[in-house]
Chains A and B, each alone.
Chain A
Amino acid sequence: DQQVKQNSPSLSVQEGRISILNCDYTNSMFDYFLWYKKYPAEGPTFLISISSIKDKNEDGRFTVFLNKSAKHLSLHIVPSQPGDSAVYFCAASEYGNKLVFGAGTILRVKS
């Protein structure tokens, strides 16, 4: 099941710079997209979401962009902090149903 793909297994960024995490999807019926952050041995923590009727949603240092024609979304973290180091999962859903997750991207923010 490759409906949601995160093609970069890892990303390393300097503290204070921008982190950009990418996600692609194939199911055009997805209408809601979310980003989760996960530390080892913990559950996914909700970060930010976006509905398919929008192309941008911002919450503090986190911004999610949605490009429906390209079936692509991205999460921008500005400025990146060492505490942001974690695994980031992209997830999508159709009509409020189950979440379909990507494989995750490990973000390392170096101080």
Chain B
Amino acid sequence: EPEVTQTPSHQVTQMGQEVILRCVPISNHLYFYWYRQILGQKVEFLVSFYNNEISEKSEIFDDQFSVERPDGSNFTLKIRSTKLEDSAMYFCASRRETGKNEQFFGPGTRLTVL
């Protein structure tokens, strides 16, 4: 069964460094998302992406964040200058079609900022 994959599973970085989190959505899906979950908190929306552009972003998704779909399969989240509070699990999700908003999630990347 097709699934969303994410790499790396765990990323440790120093504050102020740039990180790129990678995702391969399910191949026939058209809509792509990033969510994050800070330890002990809710899963929260960051950004949605459709037709090669951002369709919605949250207040969290400030100028330090960017997303890209560099080719037909990868979907990346870049954090330009990481802060301690960026430490969280980051989940990529994708969905296929309009009408049914069933989003399928990857296993997540645990980002630790020191």
Q: State the A residues within 8 Å of B (CB).
A: 32, 34, 36, 41-46, 49, 89, 91, 93, 96-104
Contact = CB atoms under 8 A, between A and B. Distances in A.
B60 to A, nearest CB: 11
B98 interface: yes
A43 B91 contact: yes
A46 B42 contact: no
A97 B100 contact: no
A42 B104 contact: no
B45 A43 contact: no
B108 A32 contact: no
B105 interface: yes
A44 B98 contact: no
B56 interface: yes
A96 B101 contact: yes
B103 interface: yes
Taking residues whose C-beta sits less than 8 angstroms from the other chain, chain B's interface range is 20 to 34
A102 B42 contact: yes
A98 B103 CA distance: 9
A32 B101 CA distance: 7
A43 B58 CA distance: 20
Nearest to A2: B42
A45 B105 contact: yes
A46 B99 contact: no
A30 B33 CA distance: 18
Given A98-B56, A101-B42, A103-B42, A43 B103 contact: no
B43 A34 contact: no
